[in-house]
Amino acid sequence: MDRLLTLAEADALTASLRPLGTEAVDLAAALSRTLAAPLVADRPFPPYHRAMMDGIAFSAGSLPPTGPVTLAGLHAAGVPPPAPLAPGHAWEIMTGAIVPDDCDTVVPYEDLADGRPAGDFEKGQFIHEAGSDATTGAVLVDGSSRIGPVEIAVAASVGVGQIEVFRQARIAILSTGDEAVPPDVIPRAWEIRRSNGPMLEAMLRRRGNSVTFHDHAPDDPEICGRLLDAALAECNVLLICGGISKGKKDFIRGLLEERLGKPAFHGVEQRPGKPLAFWQGPPVVFALPGNPVSVLATFTRHVLPALARLEGREFIPAKVSMNEALKCLPKFSWLLTVASGPDGTLRALPPSNSGDFISVAGACGIIEVPPASSQTEFKFFPFPGFP
């Protein structure tokens, strides 16, 4: 490892990453992508005075003081404006219909009695006025916004069939270690089943990313090198688990230096995950430590913000308070797993060590606890899918 960097120093280096470019995709394929340009109103919203209730529409000034109101007919949504009303007449109107220019009030059916308003009403009520939500040319959704179902609806409403988005990262996963066998294999007493790769792939798929390569390398430099070449050819972001510390069989740094040069950093003042290494690429490479909790913590704290940047947006961690006192580490930042309680507050979920991933089941993210600090507010990095 090199000189250990602070988290701020490591962040400054990953901040150099730039978006991967843009592309146009069909609206149906845009979910979870990032807008490359704002969505702009192509006409006023709503484009006409819109009835908000089923009932009758009329001009308040022409309504007779007593007696039933004469209905001129039914005016439904999706049809042009009707002919002008005679004095004292009203249209039976449906929700979503255009309110005629000579009508200024809508009274819903439930507020009628004997064919006329049952009580007081306000001129202009239940009319969604043209342009009251947005004017032509107004920005409806900012560029660099993540596209969810509501943003899909907005894009459709302004006539966008193809939408310009930032390219998504194509991600390769390579786990390492002679001791790790496939999940469907019964391990021998000195072996464990592989869990890092499945965990990362699940995180990425929940986030909406495509995993283009996923394999496992034994602690053999020749085989590991071949798999590295295959992974690097398939991705623009490579995540490696294990083989990056100081052990006699930790070959990853040397193999990557042969292909990509020296890392931007190797070693961060954090626990778990001190041996984390980063290459700016292309392709971008994060070499994560091999212990499961270290993989979870470093992926959440470092990789997720980097992926957001590559895909056209900045990740800004929320600030949260904990309802319990936390012991800080004397020199390193603590990447502490937390769970969400039934009341929405966060509680610490510390493992006994960086291999104890059983204890962090149910976690929703990590908080960053600075060293030797007495603060009670912390940066929160949620797992994908957590609000």
Tokens of 360: 């962090």
Integer CA distances (angstroms), 88 to 49, 63, 202, 227, 338, in order: 21, 5, 65, 82, 66
- In this predicted model, which residue has the larger pLDDT, 244 or 10? 10
Beta strands in 150-266 (DSSP E): 162-166, 170-176, 180-181, 192-193, 210-217, 237-241, 265-266
Q: Model confidence over 63-112: pLDDT tens digits?
A: 888 888 899 999 999 999 999 999 889 999 999 999 999 999 999 999 99
Most trustworthy range by pLDDT among 57-66, 239-248, 266-275: 266-275
pLDDT at 194: 77
What's the whole-model pTM score? Answer: 0.85
Tokens of 374: 């007495």
Distant-in-sequence, close-in-space partners of 221: CB < 8 Å, separation ≥ 6: 251, 254, 255
- DSSP labels, 313-334: ----PEEEE-SS--PPPSSSEE
Smallest CA-to-CA distance from 144 within 13, 12, 22, 45 is with 22
> Which alpha helices (H) appear in 234-335, and where do they start and end?
252-260, 292-298, 304-310
Q: Model confidence over 134-148: pLDDT tens digits?
A: 999 999 999 999 999
Domains of the chain: residue spans and CATH? 7-21+167-310 (3.40.980.10), 24-44+133-166 (3.90.105.10), 50-128 (2.170.190.11), 318-382 (2.40.340)
| Ramachandran angles phi, psi of 91, nearest 5° | -95, 140
Q: Which amino acid is at 170?
A: R
